[in-house]
A and B are shown apart, each in its own frame.
Chain A
Amino acid sequence: MADTAKNTDSTEIKDKKERYKSGVLKYAQMGYWDGDYVPKDTDILALFRMTPQEGVDPIECAAAVAGESSTATWTVVWTDRLTAADQYRAKAYRIDPVPNTPGQYFVYIAYDLILFEPGSLANLTASIIGNVFGFKPLKALRLEDMRFPVAYIKTYKGPSSGIIVERERLDKFGRPLLGATTKPKLGLSGKNYGRVVYEGLKGGLDFMKDDENINSQPFMHFRDRFLYVMEAVNRASAETGEVKGSYLNVTAGTMEEMYRRAELAKELGSVIIMIDLVIGYTAIQSMSEWCRNNDMILHLHRAGHGTYTRQKNHGISFRVIAKWMRLAGVDHIHAGTSVGKLEGDPLVTQGFYNVLREQHNPVDLPRGIFFEQDWGDMLKVMPVASGGIHAGQMHQLIDLFGDDVVLQFGGGTIGHPMGIQAGATANRVALEAMVFARNEGRNILAEGPDILRAAAKWCKPLEAALDVWGSITFDYTSTDTSDFTPMPSVSL
C-alpha cells in the first residue's frame, strides 16, 4: 500500500454532521477509499490502470474513480441519508504503482452485488465504464480486469451452445476447427460469393465466414448471399461427408431486421450465424437468446474493439471484453493470433483464451489476469484466431492455443497459387499432420517446419503454400503487454 494511505485527508469522515454538511468533500472523505476493506466473496471487483492529472493525489483519484462508477456526485447530498449509503458506495481498497511506469497506478475497487441488475451487461457497464472515463482529474483510465462472484455469473445464461455442444453438432473432435473469411469482403455478387464458399469448404475447411462489414449492400442483398452460400455449404457437405458451415452475418440496423435475417438463416438450414460487436451489448444478449431457442451457434466478430482495447493507458482491456462476451452468451469470438498481422502479445493473448475457455482462472499476472475467477460451470466460448496467419505457422498456433480454437486462414486459402480448394487442402493437411505429430509425442515447436515439409512431400498444395508464405512473419512490438513484477511487494 502506498504511504499516502495514512494521509488524514483521505480518511472517511465518520461524524455524520460533518459528513453530510452541504458543500464539497474529497471523495476519500466521503468514504470511497478504504485501505482496510477486505473484499467480500459476493463483491464485484474491478482493476483500473489509472493515470491522475499532475498534482492529483493518487488515493483521492482512486476514490473518485470508485465514486464516479457507483453512487457519487460532485457535492454532498442529504438524500444519501435515506439509503444504506455506506454499502452502496464502491470502495477503492488497494493502490499499487504500475511497475516501471511512473505516474500510473493499479487501483482495486470493490462493488456490492446490490448495485447491479441481474443478467444485464448494459447495466453493469453503465456503472463500471459509464461516466468515469471522462472524469477531469484523470489523464487516462483503463479497465484492466474484473472478478465476478458466482452468484452474479449465474444470472447470465452464457454461451448458447458452447465449445462442447458445437463440436458434437459438427462432429469434429480433437483438432482446431478451420475457417476462412470470404474475400474480397466487398463487391462480390451473391453468385460469385457462393463460389468462394464452395471451393473453400470442399477443399477441406470446416467454416467459411462473412466479413464484419458484409451486411446487405447494393452489390449483394443478404437474401441472395444466404441462398447462394447455403447451396455451397450443402454441396460441399455432399462432396466430403462432413457437416459444414458458413457464418451468415445478420448484423443490421435494427433488432427487427436482425431477427428477420436470422430466421432466414435458420429456414435455410445454416448451423451458425454471426454478429458484430458494434451492435451493442443488449443486442448481443438478445441474439444469444434467439440462438439458444433455435439451436444456432453464434459467432461474434469483435469489430471496433481496437478503438478502446489497444492503448495500454486508456480504454478497456480485451480480457474484460472477453469476460463480458462470455456472460452475454456468444459461442465464438475473435481473440487474437499473436503470430498474425493484428495486435497481440503471446502471453496476454493466451490470457484472453483462458478466460474464454477455462472453468477456473487462477491469478496469472504474466497473462494479465489479476483476479481469481470461478465461472460457475458457465459454458466455454470458442476463440477464433484470424488475421494474417498461414499454414507455415501451424506448429506455433497449436502450441500457443491448443485444440479448442478456430484457425482462420483467409488470404492463406483464397490467395493460394493453385486455387481456393488447394489453399483449403494445404491448411487442412498442415493442421492434421501437426495434431497427429503432437499426439505421437513429437516436439512440434522445434520440429514443426520439418513436419510440414514432410507432409508437403505428398501434398502439392501444402508445398506451394510453404513456398509462397513459409517465411512471412509479422514481428512488431506489441502495444498491449502486461506490466508486472514477479514479486509484487518489490514495486511498492
Chain B
Amino acid sequence: MRNTQGTFSFLPDLTDDQISAQIQYCLDKDWAVGVEYCYDPHPRNIYWDMWGNPMFDLKDPKGVMMELADCRKVHGDAYIRLNAFDNTRAVESVTLSFIVNRPKVEPTIRMTRQEVNGRSVRYTHEIVR
C-alpha cells in the first residue's frame, strides 16, 4: 500500500534534483528544513524521529541533501520526510512536508472495529508489516 501522507505522495517518487529544487524553494522563503524518519507511518503518528535539528540559516540545499544521504544510509528502509518550518508570527508551524524515501515494501494498515452501543463502532488503526 502506498502511504500518501505528505505534500507530493501522488506524484512519482522524486529524484534528488527535484528534492533539491523543493528545498531551494523553502530556503528562499527563509524556512528551516529538517529530516525526519519513521517505521510506523500511522495516520496519527505525529512525532517521527528527527535526524538532527531543523537546519536554520542555510543557503544551499546541499546541506540538507547531505543529511538526507546520511539518513538514507542508516534508515534506508524507513519512511523519510523533509519538513519545512516557518517562524513567521501567526504561522509558526510546518509549511511543507513531503516524503523522500519509502521502504521497499510498504506496510499496510489494519482497521479494527469494536462494536459498542447499538450500531456505533470504535475504529482503531494498526500498522501491519
Residues of chain A having any CB pair with chain B under 8 Å: 164, 167-168, 171-175, 204, 227, 230-231, 234-235, 237-243, 267-269, 359, 377, 380, 425, 428-429, 432-433, 435-436, 439-441, 455, 458
A204–B18 Cα distance when bound, in Å, is 22
Nearest chain A CB to B81 CB, angstrom units? 10
A123–B3 Cα distance when bound, in Å, is 49
Contact B25 A440, beta carbon cutoff 8 Å: yes
Contacts of A377 in B (CB 8 A): 89-90
Closest to B96 in A: A174
Contacts of A441 in B (CB 8 A): 21, 25
Contact B7 A238, beta carbon cutoff 8 Å: no
CB-based closest 4 A-B pairs: A174-B96, A241-B3, A234-B123, A238-B111
Question: Residue B43 contacts which of A241, A440, A455 (CB distance < 8 angstroms)?
Answer: A241
Contact with A along B59-101 (1 / 0, CB 8 A): 0000000000000000000000001100001111111111000
Question: Residue A167 contacts which of B10, B11, B93 (CB distance < 8 angstroms)?
Answer: B93
Contact A204 B22, beta carbon cutoff 8 Å: no
Question: Residue A242 contacts which of B4, B11, B97, B119 (CB distance < 8 angstroms)?
Answer: B4
Nearest chain A CB to B82 CB, angstrom units? 10
Contacts of B25 in A (CB 8 A): 439-441
A230–B84 Cα distance when bound, in Å, is 32
Contacts of A429 in B (CB 8 A): 10-11
Contacts of B110 in A (CB 8 A): 238
Contact B121 A439, beta carbon cutoff 8 Å: no
Contacts of A175 in B (CB 8 A): 7
Contact A173 B90, beta carbon cutoff 8 Å: no
* Dominant secondary structure of chain A at its interface with chain B: helix
Q: How many residues of B contact A (CB 8 A)?
A: 40
Question: Residue A436 contacts which of B22, B43, B109, B122 (CB distance < 8 angstroms)?
Answer: B22
Q: CB of B56 within 8 A of chain A? A: no
A326–B4 Cα distance when bound, in Å, is 32
Residues of chain B having any CB pair with chain A under 8 Å: 1, 3-5, 7-12, 18, 21-22, 25, 41-44, 46, 83-84, 89-98, 109-111, 119-123, 125
Can you identify 25 A-B contacts, CB atoms within 8 angstroms?
A164-B93, A171-B46, A172-B7, A174-B84, A227-B121, A230-B121, A230-B123, A231-B123, A237-B111, A238-B109, A238-B111, A238-B125, A239-B109, A240-B3, A241-B5, A241-B109, A242-B5, A269-B123, A359-B89, A377-B90, A428-B10, A435-B7, A439-B25, A440-B18, A441-B25
Given contacts A425-B10, A432-B10, A440-B25, contact A174 B43 (CB under 8 A): no
Which of B5, B12, B123: most chain A Cβ within 10 A?
Answer: B123
Contact B94 A173, beta carbon cutoff 8 Å: yes
Closest to B46 in A: A171
Contacts of A439 in B (CB 8 A): 21-22, 25, 96
Contacts of A237 in B (CB 8 A): 43, 109, 111, 125
Closest to B90 in A: A359
A168–B11 Cα distance when bound, in Å, is 22
A240–B9 Cα distance when bound, in Å, is 10
A477–B22 Cα distance when bound, in Å, is 39
Contacts of B95 in A (CB 8 A): 173-174
A237–B125 Cα distance when bound, in Å, is 8
Question: Residue B111 contacts which of A167, A234, A359, A435 (CB distance < 8 angstroms)?
Answer: A234
Question: Residue B120 contacts which of A172, A204, A227 (CB distance < 8 angstroms)?
Answer: A227
